[in-house]
Structure 1
Amino acid sequence: MRWYGTGGRARRLPGRPVPGETVARAAGVGLGLGGRPVLSGVELPVRAGEVLALVGPNGAGKSTLLAVLAADTRPDVGAVEILGRPAGEWSAAELALRRAVLPQAATLSFPFVAREVVRMGRAPWAGTEREEQDEAAVREAMAATETAAFAGRPFSALSGGERARVALARVLAQRAPLVLLDEPTAALDLRHQELVLRVCRERAAAGDAVVVVLHDLGLAAAYAHRVAVLHDGRVTADGPPAEVLSADLLSEVYRQPVEVIPHPASGDPLVLPVRAALK
């Protein structure tokens, strides 16, 4: 294991996690914001080789939990571990080698072109032996997200969906073993929603731990290995989609009657709202 100095502090490069290894963990996490509880008693492991989908209604705490798992937000109570160490013991530079985060919105104040934005994901590796992987990492990330065609266009001139895919390419180029994505499909058309979730599965198959906040329960059912349902700041259920996505639970959590039926070909759960007859 090699060490590299930065700002007077040595950085140890991360190895690859073992499939099934707990890469991150929330233990008894609680957090209040604006005078109200947002997370309460959250227990959640994140494992290498899995796509974990966080689902639930608006205000359930999904994005807040993602930020806590990323060590971007410190909980009021409880603890978060990343790769076996308390999250607070990692420096910012060390964290950037170990987890990559896609926020809900991607904005830039300077006129960078798309390829330059993706290359920002390689910044944590500067000065290390893995810096030589920069070009390959950027090229592969842009190919995976179908963004190479507009690599030279200003980020500000891209559509919302194109920006979202460039931002995802930046995260992929970072090549961190923990990938945290907040609503990566929100601005995307049908084709690119499917593409993003296929990329998540590919990263998990390569050994990464992937956590993704989703509103589309169909995508969660089709692509996630595990689904954690959040409700009022708590993890109400956590497990394989076929076990977790039940009509009774979802109807209660979303306050909307639903039915859940198996897909006729794949067997994946299909979640359908129960609607009154439309005239």
Structure 2
Amino acid sequence: MRLLRNRPTPPAPAEPGDVLAEAEGLHVRLGARHVLDGVSVVVRAGEVLALVGPNGAGKSTLLGALAADIPAAGGVVRIHGRPAAEWSAPELALRRAVLPQSASLSFPFTVEDVVRMGRAPWAATAPDDDDRAVAEAMRQTDVVDFASRPFSALSGGERARVALARVLAQRAPLLLLDEPTAALDLKHQELVLKVCRERARAGDAVVVVLHDLGLAAAYAHRVAILRAGRVAADGAPEEVFEQALLSEVYDQAVEVFPHPRTGALLVNPERKL
């Protein structure tokens, strides 16, 4: 006799402003090191939240905790209103998609094969849904032209875009992206952040770790600035990107000023050449 297992139920569509993930008083230890110290942050549907800060500030650790991949030593992480530990792996896979800093595969999968892996949580759905999701994700990330190439033969930037396509194909309402622009050229940095805004406009919540403060200023609805495992500021870029604060956090003189033509916020290191 064949046993039937309960299939995980996809989440209901979110309304703009709904809280899809949050950390409250979060403490995380990695080995003997206290990496996050009482961090609280809220992730809402319809927003791009950028996590910025210097190396070692705890950005990737916070992202991993919000993904339920890194356990909390104190405080709580909630995903779709429930403590993260209460979700099963299949349930989580329908609710959040995670892009790590690097992607590697040991087997010669093609680009399309890798993107299609993002559809695994939806194995019970119709194949047509999978095909549409894969095709749309590949179009959004500009990888259609090398769909049949082995993933292992791609450049670092091409691999990064394919990995992002896999995440987009998963079609989870919460996207957690760790430095998605790190290996990309100028054109594709802009493309990736435009995709983030498009997903937010469609109702998803997007959390993205960024080092480029200019990209964060241009594309994030909200920014959380981390410093030494704590949130130094949280708010809209025009509210929290203050020259004095950024210069202190990064231990580097920073200039914040409006674009002379558009008035858009610009953030640059102060250079004396």
Q: Same fold per TM (> 0.5)? A: yes
**Alignment-derived partner of residue 192 in structure 2:** 196
Distance 1:200 1:274 in 2: 29
Aligned match for 1:39, one of 31, 36, 39: 36
8 Å contact kept, 1:217–1:271: yes
**Alignment-derived partner of residue 3 in structure 1:** none
**Pairing 1:92–2:89 present:** yes
8 Å contact kept, 2:214–2:268: no
Aligned match for 1:152, one of 125, 148, 151: 148
**Pairing 1:83–2:80 present:** yes
Amino acid at match of 1:81: R
Q: Deviations over 1:37-84 (max 9, x none)?
A: 100111100000000000000000000000000001111000011111
**Pairing 1:116–2:113 present:** yes
Q: Deviations over 1:78-107 (max 9, x none)?
A: 001111111111100000000000000000
Normalized against structure 1, the TM-score is what?
Answer: 0.95
Distance 2:241 2:208 in 1: 16
8 Å contact kept, 2:111–2:162: yes
Aligned match for 1:12, one of 5, 9, 30: 9
**Alignment-derived partner of residue 19 in structure 2:** 22
Gaps of 5+ in 1: 1-5
Alpha carbons of structure 1 residues 7 and 242: separation in structure 2 relative to 1, 3 Å: farther
- Counterparts of 1:98-177 in structure 2 under 5 Å? 98-128=95-125, 132-177=128-173
Distance 1:54 1:273 in 2: 18
8 Å contact kept, 2:24–2:75: yes
Aligned match for 2:235, one of 239, 247, 262: 239
Q: Cα distance, 1:114 vs. partner?
A: 0.2
Distance 1:51 1:244 in 2: 15
8 Å contact kept, 1:259–1:273: yes
**Alignment-derived partner of residue 52 in structure 1:** 49
- Please provide the CA RMSD for this pair: 1.3
**Pairing 1:187–2:183 present:** yes
Q: Cα distance, 1:191 vs. partner?
A: 0.2
Amino acid at match of 1:74: P
Amino acid at match of 1:271: V
Distance 1:187 1:264 in 2: 29
Q: Counterpart of 2:255 in 1: which secondary structure?
A: strand
**Alignment-derived partner of residue 217 in structure 1:** 213
Distance 1:77 1:179 in 2: 24
Distance 1:87 1:131 in 2: 30
Distance 2:8 2:31 in 1: 36
Q: Cα distance, 1:266 vs. partner?
A: 3.3
Aligned match for 2:61, one of 61, 64, 73: 64
Q: Counterpart of 1:12 in 2: which secondary structure?
A: coil
8 Å contact kept, 2:20–2:80: yes
Q: Counterpart of 1:227 in 2: which secondary structure?
A: strand
Percent identical across equivalent pairs? Answer: 69
Q: Counterpart of 1:100 in 2: which secondary structure?
A: strand
Distance 1:34 1:22 in 2: 31
Gaps of 5+ in 2: none
8 Å contact kept, 1:28–1:79: yes
Amino acid at match of 1:8: R
Q: Counterpart of 2:94 in 1: which secondary structure?
A: helix
Q: Cα distance, 1:252 vs. partner?
A: 0.4
**Pairing 1:255–2:251 present:** yes
